[in-house]
Amino acid sequence: MVVRKSVYNEQVFNHCNIAPMINELTITRPDDWHLHLREGDALRDTTPHAARQFGRAIIMPNLRPPVTTVELALDYRKAILDTLPAGQPFNPLMALYLTNSTTADEVRRVAENEQTIAFKLYPAGATTNSDSGVTDIQKIYPIFAEMEKHEVPLLVHGEVTDGTVDIFDREKAFIDRHLIAITRAFPALRVVLEHATTAEAIQFVSDAPETIAATITAHHLLFNRNSLLAGGIRPHYYCLPILKREKHREALVKAATSGNPKFFLGTDSAPHAVGAKESDCGCAGCYTAYAAIELYATAFESANALNRLEGFASHHGADFYRLPRNNETITLKKSTWKIPPNYSFADGKVIPLMAGEELTWKLC
């Protein structure tokens, strides 16, 4: 990682014993290990946003109908590649959607294909387009056994759907009721707890064997539930798992900036058309792919940990998935710019997270 500091600021800050201000940052090209691109015309808008910064991304399969087979995943991958700007390298790695009827043959096919990388477990009803998800996790244990055997990672939306459990406690309940049991029953299965949001999740992953990792989103690093609910309901900050209390955000920042290779970048950037968000029953999802690496840089800078961004964004995930790290680099510069009020999204608009606000990092 190459870090350039402003000479003037370095002198001032060293005198005051404060970390020097960094004005430019060059890191290995990052990857996004959890991304929603959607489908159809939306891909013309979402794919270029992701590809401008990331070398690879794991593409989430919660379409309608869901991406449940390698054949469907490869069709979807081709549609994504068809919307890539000319000359822009980007490697979409496909996750398949686990259902009650996923077969052992499908697991083998995923293992044999380099472009399909994992299965995603959505507990039925947990989030957007999860109604075809798994209704009884115990019943798919034989499929977990196949995944363990064929070294196919399991990506988990870790929230229970039990209506009696408070929405702020659903991640912890999932860990207690399911994740501990799964990781004990399948010790060689690599599991990623996607979009970890609580101090309990960080503790669980930190204490678990090295087969267990977690992605952390930029929005959960930057915001707590006050941004969603205090002074008015802000639907563009509504996502699942829902933003939590400040103490949980602090635990996430600590984990992401710790240098621990179990924690890596996964944006969970999840665009919905403006009308689907600003509604009496708004969809869950924050759109961050337009400037994901700049948002992460902002969070790492606030924690005085820009020197840890490269590991989190560009190394840990590749190492966990046993893929080579990217060869190219990207450069971020200190430069203030205003986030537009919206971006085009198929035949409508998507409102980005922090629309109209300023960011101080810019990808060159």
Instruction: For residue 141, report the phi and psi dihedrals to the nearest 5 degrees.
Output: -55, -40
The residue within the footprint of ligand DOR, chosen from 42, 208, 222, 270 (CB under 6 A), is 270
Binding flag, residue 277, ligand DOR (CB under 6 A): no
* 127 vs 326 by CB, closer to ligand DOR: 127
Catalytic entry in 75, 207, 268, 319: 268
* 133 vs 308 by CB, closer to Zn ion: 133
Binding flag, residue 268, Zn ion (CB under 5 A): yes
Angle between helices 246-256 and 199-207 (to 10 degrees): 30
From the list 92-100, 218-226, 283-291, 302-310, the region that binds ligand DOR by CB under 6 A is: 283-291
* 38 vs 109 by CB, closer to ligand DOR: 38
The residue within the footprint of ligand DOR, chosen from 95, 96, 239, 255 (CB under 6 A), is 239
Minimum CB–partner distance for residue 238 and ligand DOR (Å): 7
Binding flag, residue 128, ligand DOR (CB under 6 A): yes
From the list 63-71, 112-120, 227-235, 266-274, the region that binds Zn ion by CB under 5 A is: 266-274
Binding flag, residue 157, ligand DOR (CB under 6 A): yes
228 in Cβ contact with 234 (< 8 Å): yes
* 97 vs 361 by CB, closer to Zn ion: 97
The 3-class SS string of 52-103 reads CCCCEEEECCCCCCCCCCHHHHHHHHHHHHCCCCCCCCCEEEEEEECCCCCC
Is 268 designated active site?
yes
DSSP single-letter state for residue 116 = E
Binding flag, residue 197, ligand DOR (CB under 6 A): no
Rounded-to-integer distance, Cα 84 and Cα 77, Å: 11
* 62 vs 260 by CB, closer to ligand DOR: 62
Other CB atoms within a 10 A radius of the CB of residue 208 amount to: 18
Binding mask 75-94 for ligand DOR (x = CB under 6 A): --------------------
If we measure between CA atoms, which residue out of 142, 95, 86 comes closest to residue 118? 95
Q: Binds 308, which of Zn ion, ligand DOR, none (CB < 5 to 8 A, cut-off by type)?
A: none
Helix ranges (H only) for the chain are 7-16, 43-51, 70-81, 104-112, 141-150, 170-174, 180-185, 199-207, 218-222, 225-229, 246-256, 274-277, 292-302, 309-310, 316-320
The residue within the footprint of ligand DOR, chosen from 28, 99, 102, 127 (CB under 6 A), is 127
From the list 103-111, 179-187, 261-269, 331-339, the region that binds Zn ion by CB under 5 A is: 261-269
Binding flag, residue 353, ligand DOR (CB under 6 A): no
Measured CA to CA in angstroms, residue 289 lies from 12, 47, 142, 311 at distances of 35, 9, 35, 19
If we measure between CA atoms, which residue out of 62, 69, 138, 133 comes closest to residue 105? 69
Binding flag, residue 121, ligand DOR (CB under 6 A): no
47: Cα within 13 Å, side-chain hemisphere: 23
What is the binding site for ligand DOR (CB under 6 A)? Answer: 36, 62, 127-128, 157, 239-240, 268, 270, 283-285
Catalytically active residues, by annotation? 268
